[in-house]
Structure 1
Amino acid sequence: MKDRATVLCIRDGRVLLVARARSRWALPGGRIRRDETPADAARRELEEETGLVAMELTYLFRFGGLGTLHDVFLAGVPSDEVAQPGNEIARCRWFVPSKIATLSASVPTRGIVALLFPHGQIQIVAPSDQTGTPAGESVTIAAK
Protein backbone atom coordinates (compact mmCIF):
# COMPACT_ATOMS: atom_id res chain seq x y z
CA MET A 1 0.00 0.00 0.00
CA LYS A 2 1.18 3.50 -0.82
CA ASP A 3 0.84 6.27 1.76
CA ARG A 4 -0.49 9.63 0.62
CA ALA A 5 -1.15 12.94 2.37
CA THR A 6 -4.44 14.41 1.14
CA VAL A 7 -5.47 17.98 1.88
CA LEU A 8 -8.96 19.40 2.27
CA CYS A 9 -9.18 23.19 1.88
CA ILE A 10 -12.58 24.79 2.37
CA ARG A 11 -13.39 28.41 1.58
CA ASP A 12 -16.86 29.97 1.44
CA GLY A 13 -18.43 26.50 1.54
CA ARG A 14 -16.38 25.28 -1.42
CA VAL A 15 -13.69 22.60 -1.62
CA LEU A 16 -10.43 23.12 -3.51
CA LEU A 17 -9.65 20.53 -6.18
CA VAL A 18 -6.67 20.26 -8.51
CA ALA A 19 -6.11 18.45 -11.79
CA ARG A 20 -3.19 17.54 -13.98
CA ALA A 21 -3.48 18.12 -17.72
CA ARG A 22 -6.12 15.77 -19.22
CA SER A 23 -6.74 14.18 -15.83
CA ARG A 24 -9.47 13.89 -13.20
CA TRP A 25 -10.06 16.40 -10.43
CA ALA A 26 -8.59 15.44 -7.06
CA LEU A 27 -7.94 16.83 -3.61
CA PRO A 28 -4.43 18.31 -3.36
CA GLY A 29 -1.83 15.94 -2.00
CA GLY A 30 0.71 13.31 -2.86
CA ARG A 31 3.12 10.66 -1.70
CA ILE A 32 4.70 10.89 1.71
CA ARG A 33 8.47 10.89 1.39
CA ARG A 34 10.53 8.56 3.50
CA ASP A 35 12.00 11.42 5.56
CA GLU A 36 8.79 13.35 6.32
CA THR A 37 5.70 13.07 8.45
CA PRO A 38 2.25 12.93 6.85
CA ALA A 39 1.60 16.51 8.06
CA ASP A 40 4.85 17.75 6.49
CA ALA A 41 3.90 16.00 3.23
CA ALA A 42 0.45 17.62 3.31
CA ARG A 43 1.97 21.10 3.75
CA ARG A 44 4.57 20.50 1.03
CA GLU A 45 2.13 19.07 -1.51
CA LEU A 46 -0.43 21.83 -0.93
CA GLU A 47 2.19 24.51 -1.53
CA GLU A 48 3.75 22.75 -4.54
CA GLU A 49 0.40 22.13 -6.23
CA THR A 50 -1.49 25.34 -5.40
CA GLY A 51 0.94 27.89 -3.99
CA LEU A 52 -1.16 28.01 -0.80
CA VAL A 53 0.60 27.79 2.55
CA ALA A 54 -1.29 26.01 5.32
CA MET A 55 -1.46 28.26 8.37
CA GLU A 56 -3.21 25.52 10.36
CA LEU A 57 -3.35 21.81 9.65
CA THR A 58 -5.68 19.38 11.42
CA TYR A 59 -5.54 15.62 10.95
CA LEU A 60 -9.01 14.27 10.15
CA PHE A 61 -8.77 10.53 9.39
CA ARG A 62 -7.21 7.79 7.27
CA PHE A 63 -9.11 6.81 4.13
CA GLY A 64 -8.43 3.51 2.35
CA GLY A 65 -8.38 3.82 -1.41
CA LEU A 66 -7.46 1.32 -4.13
CA GLY A 67 -3.89 0.49 -3.17
CA THR A 68 -3.39 3.80 -1.35
CA LEU A 69 -3.94 4.95 2.22
CA HIS A 70 -4.83 8.64 2.42
CA ASP A 71 -3.97 10.57 5.59
CA VAL A 72 -6.55 13.35 5.25
CA PHE A 73 -5.87 16.82 6.67
CA LEU A 74 -7.97 19.97 6.91
CA ALA A 75 -5.83 22.99 6.00
CA GLY A 76 -6.52 26.55 7.06
CA VAL A 77 -5.25 28.96 4.41
CA PRO A 78 -5.40 32.77 4.24
CA SER A 79 -8.73 33.91 2.79
CA ASP A 80 -7.07 36.41 0.46
CA GLU A 81 -4.63 33.93 -1.11
CA VAL A 82 -5.37 32.66 -4.62
CA ALA A 83 -4.74 29.04 -5.55
CA GLN A 84 -2.45 28.90 -8.59
CA PRO A 85 -1.53 25.64 -10.36
CA GLY A 86 2.07 24.62 -9.78
CA ASN A 87 4.36 21.66 -10.27
CA GLU A 88 2.47 19.03 -12.29
CA ILE A 89 -0.94 20.65 -11.70
CA ALA A 90 -2.69 22.35 -14.63
CA ARG A 91 -5.89 23.56 -12.91
CA CYS A 92 -7.07 24.63 -9.44
CA ARG A 93 -10.72 25.35 -8.76
CA TRP A 94 -13.15 25.64 -5.82
CA PHE A 95 -16.29 23.46 -6.02
CA VAL A 96 -19.48 23.18 -3.99
CA PRO A 97 -19.29 19.72 -2.34
CA SER A 98 -22.53 18.50 -3.94
CA LYS A 99 -21.06 19.21 -7.41
CA ILE A 100 -18.00 16.99 -6.82
CA ALA A 101 -20.06 13.78 -7.14
CA THR A 102 -20.92 14.79 -10.71
CA LEU A 103 -17.40 15.73 -11.80
CA SER A 104 -14.80 13.62 -13.47
CA ALA A 105 -13.03 13.24 -10.11
CA SER A 106 -10.89 10.52 -8.60
CA VAL A 107 -12.71 7.80 -6.67
CA PRO A 108 -10.94 8.65 -3.37
CA THR A 109 -11.78 12.35 -3.81
CA ARG A 110 -15.48 11.60 -4.29
CA GLY A 111 -15.39 9.18 -1.33
CA ILE A 112 -13.65 11.58 1.05
CA VAL A 113 -15.96 14.47 0.13
CA ALA A 114 -19.05 12.25 0.47
CA LEU A 115 -17.91 11.18 3.97
CA LEU A 116 -17.31 14.75 5.08
CA PHE A 117 -20.34 16.39 3.48
CA PRO A 118 -23.17 13.85 3.71
CA HIS A 119 -25.84 16.48 4.40
CA GLY A 120 -24.34 19.70 3.08
CA GLN A 121 -22.19 20.43 6.11
CA ILE A 122 -19.05 19.09 7.68
CA GLN A 123 -18.60 18.44 11.38
CA ILE A 124 -15.12 17.76 12.64
CA VAL A 125 -14.17 16.75 16.17
CA ALA A 126 -10.59 17.75 16.88
CA PRO A 127 -8.42 14.82 18.02
CA SER A 128 -6.53 15.19 21.28
CA ASP A 129 -3.09 15.13 19.66
CA GLN A 130 -3.61 18.10 17.31
CA THR A 131 -3.13 21.81 17.85
CA GLY A 132 -5.51 24.59 16.90
CA THR A 133 -9.03 23.58 17.93
CA PRO A 134 -9.14 22.31 21.53
CA ALA A 135 -9.38 18.52 21.85
CA GLY A 136 -12.88 17.18 21.57
CA GLU A 137 -14.30 20.49 20.38
CA SER A 138 -16.60 20.25 17.41
CA VAL A 139 -16.18 22.50 14.37
CA THR A 140 -19.04 22.71 11.86
CA ILE A 141 -18.42 24.11 8.39
CA ALA A 142 -21.51 24.69 6.27
CA ALA A 143 -21.37 24.01 2.56
CA LYS A 144 -23.25 26.45 0.38
Structure 2
Amino acid sequence: MKNRATVLCVRDNRILLVARERSRWSLPGGRIRRDEAPHEAALRELEEETTLVADQLMYLFEFNGFSTQHHVFFAEVGPHLSAEPRNEIAKCKWFAPVKIATLSASVPTRGIVELFFRHIGVSVARRRPVAP
Protein backbone atom coordinates (compact mmCIF):
# COMPACT_ATOMS: atom_id res chain seq x y z
CA MET A 1 0.00 0.00 0.00
CA LYS A 2 1.30 3.48 -0.90
CA ASN A 3 1.59 6.16 1.80
CA ARG A 4 0.36 9.66 1.08
CA ALA A 5 0.29 12.89 3.09
CA THR A 6 -3.03 14.65 2.53
CA VAL A 7 -3.89 18.17 3.68
CA LEU A 8 -7.35 19.37 4.55
CA CYS A 9 -6.76 23.11 4.25
CA VAL A 10 -9.54 25.37 5.54
CA ARG A 11 -10.08 29.12 5.16
CA ASP A 12 -13.29 31.00 5.90
CA ASN A 13 -15.17 27.68 6.29
CA ARG A 14 -14.12 26.59 2.80
CA ILE A 15 -11.92 23.66 1.82
CA LEU A 16 -9.09 23.93 -0.69
CA LEU A 17 -9.16 21.44 -3.54
CA VAL A 18 -6.67 21.07 -6.36
CA ALA A 19 -6.84 19.41 -9.77
CA ARG A 20 -4.47 18.43 -12.51
CA GLU A 21 -5.39 19.16 -16.11
CA ARG A 22 -8.49 17.10 -17.10
CA SER A 23 -8.63 15.41 -13.70
CA ARG A 24 -10.91 15.20 -10.67
CA TRP A 25 -10.70 17.59 -7.75
CA SER A 26 -8.71 16.31 -4.78
CA LEU A 27 -7.16 17.46 -1.54
CA PRO A 28 -3.58 18.72 -1.78
CA GLY A 29 -0.94 16.15 -0.95
CA GLY A 30 1.29 13.48 -2.30
CA ARG A 31 3.72 10.66 -1.76
CA ILE A 32 5.78 10.52 1.40
CA ARG A 33 9.46 10.25 0.54
CA ARG A 34 11.66 7.53 2.05
CA ASP A 35 13.33 9.53 4.85
CA GLU A 36 10.47 11.99 5.34
CA ALA A 37 7.95 12.15 8.17
CA PRO A 38 4.27 12.36 7.10
CA HIS A 39 3.89 15.93 8.45
CA GLU A 40 6.99 17.03 6.52
CA ALA A 41 5.52 15.58 3.33
CA ALA A 42 2.22 17.35 4.01
CA LEU A 43 3.94 20.74 4.40
CA ARG A 44 6.10 20.16 1.31
CA GLU A 45 3.24 19.00 -0.91
CA LEU A 46 0.94 21.85 0.17
CA GLU A 47 3.60 24.39 -0.78
CA GLU A 48 4.64 22.58 -4.00
CA GLU A 49 1.06 22.33 -5.26
CA THR A 50 -0.50 25.58 -4.01
CA THR A 51 2.32 27.95 -2.90
CA LEU A 52 0.68 28.01 0.56
CA VAL A 53 2.96 27.70 3.58
CA ALA A 54 1.16 26.44 6.67
CA ASP A 55 2.44 27.66 10.03
CA GLN A 56 1.39 24.42 11.65
CA LEU A 57 -0.46 21.22 10.95
CA MET A 58 -2.70 19.12 13.14
CA TYR A 59 -2.74 15.37 12.55
CA LEU A 60 -6.33 14.18 12.09
CA PHE A 61 -6.48 10.51 11.12
CA GLU A 62 -5.49 7.82 8.63
CA PHE A 63 -7.83 7.07 5.76
CA ASN A 64 -7.43 3.92 3.67
CA GLY A 65 -8.21 4.33 0.00
CA PHE A 66 -8.16 1.59 -2.63
CA SER A 67 -4.38 1.21 -2.66
CA THR A 68 -3.25 4.24 -0.67
CA GLN A 69 -3.10 5.03 3.01
CA HIS A 70 -3.71 8.75 3.53
CA HIS A 71 -2.12 10.44 6.55
CA VAL A 72 -4.55 13.35 6.87
CA PHE A 73 -3.53 16.70 8.36
CA PHE A 74 -5.53 19.85 9.05
CA ALA A 75 -4.14 23.28 8.16
CA GLU A 76 -5.93 26.56 8.70
CA VAL A 77 -4.62 29.45 6.64
CA GLY A 78 -5.31 33.14 6.98
CA PRO A 79 -7.65 35.04 4.66
CA HIS A 80 -4.76 37.09 3.24
CA LEU A 81 -3.09 34.06 1.64
CA SER A 82 -4.05 32.91 -1.83
CA ALA A 83 -3.49 29.50 -3.36
CA GLU A 84 -1.84 29.43 -6.76
CA PRO A 85 -1.52 26.22 -8.79
CA ARG A 86 2.03 25.01 -9.25
CA ASN A 87 3.91 22.00 -10.62
CA GLU A 88 1.44 19.37 -11.91
CA ILE A 89 -1.56 21.24 -10.47
CA ALA A 90 -3.63 23.18 -13.03
CA LYS A 91 -6.18 24.75 -10.67
CA CYS A 92 -6.83 25.49 -6.98
CA LYS A 93 -10.18 26.54 -5.63
CA TRP A 94 -11.90 26.96 -2.25
CA PHE A 95 -15.23 25.14 -1.92
CA ALA A 96 -18.00 25.14 0.67
CA PRO A 97 -18.18 21.64 2.21
CA VAL A 98 -21.70 20.98 0.86
CA LYS A 99 -20.50 21.74 -2.68
CA ILE A 100 -17.85 19.00 -2.60
CA ALA A 101 -20.50 16.26 -2.77
CA THR A 102 -21.63 17.65 -6.16
CA LEU A 103 -18.16 17.97 -7.71
CA SER A 104 -16.24 15.53 -9.81
CA ALA A 105 -13.96 14.71 -6.90
CA SER A 106 -11.86 11.69 -6.09
CA VAL A 107 -13.42 9.00 -3.89
CA PRO A 108 -10.83 9.46 -1.10
CA THR A 109 -11.41 13.24 -1.13
CA ARG A 110 -15.14 12.79 -0.58
CA GLY A 111 -14.53 10.21 2.15
CA ILE A 112 -11.95 12.30 3.97
CA VAL A 113 -14.13 15.44 3.91
CA GLU A 114 -17.15 13.47 5.12
CA LEU A 115 -15.16 11.86 7.93
CA PHE A 116 -13.70 15.23 8.95
CA PHE A 117 -17.12 16.84 9.29
CA ARG A 118 -18.54 13.82 11.09
CA HIS A 119 -15.63 14.16 13.56
CA ILE A 120 -16.23 17.90 13.98
CA GLY A 121 -19.94 17.27 14.63
CA VAL A 122 -19.13 14.72 17.32
CA SER A 123 -16.57 17.03 18.92
CA VAL A 124 -18.99 19.96 18.96
CA ALA A 125 -21.81 17.81 20.36
CA ARG A 126 -19.58 16.63 23.20
CA ARG A 127 -18.76 20.21 24.20
CA ARG A 128 -22.37 21.30 24.53
CA PRO A 129 -23.62 21.49 28.11
CA VAL A 130 -26.13 18.84 29.06
CA ALA A 131 -29.43 20.18 30.38
CA PRO A 132 -30.33 18.98 33.91
As a proportion of its length, which structure holds more strand? 1
What is the distance in 1 between the residues matched to 2:106 and 2:91? 15
What is the distance in 2 between the residues matched to 1:55 and 1:79? 14
Deviation of residue 123 (structure 1)?
Answer: 5.3
**Match for 1:65: what amino acid?**
G
Deviation of residue 56 (structure 1)?
Answer: 1.1
8 Å contact kept, 1:48–1:86: yes
Q: Secondary structure at the match of 1:5?
A: strand
Instruction: Name the counterpart of 1:113.
Output: 113
Deviations 1:84-142 (A, max 9, x none): 00010000000011111110000000001111124xx93597xxxxxxxxxxxx8xxxx
- Identity over the aligned pairs, expressed in percent? 67
Question: Which runs of no fewer than 5 residues in structure 1 stay unpaired?
Answer: 126-137, 139-144
Instruction: Name the counterpart of 2:99.
Output: 99
What is the distance in 1 between the residues matched to 2:24 and 2:92? 12
* Count of residues paired in the alignment: 124
8 Å contact kept, 1:7–1:28: yes
Instruction: Name the counterpart of 1:122.
Output: 120
Deviation of residue 60 (structure 1)?
Answer: 0.3
Length-normalised TM-score, structure 2: 0.89
As a proportion of its length, which structure holds more helix? 2
What is the distance in 1 between the residues matched to 2:93 and 2:36? 27
What is the distance in 1 between the residues matched to 2:62 and 2:76? 19
Q: Secondary structure at the match of 1:56?
A: coil
For residues 1-144 of structure 1, what are the structure 2 equivalents within 5 Å? 1-118=1-118, 122=120
CA RMSD of aligned residues (A): 1.7
Task: From the CA coordinates, give the structure whose radius of gyration is larger.
Answer: 2
Q: Which moved more, 1:14-23 or 1:77-86?
A: 77-86
Deviation of residue 20 (structure 1)?
Answer: 0.2
What is the distance in 2 between the residues matched to 1:36 and 1:89? 22
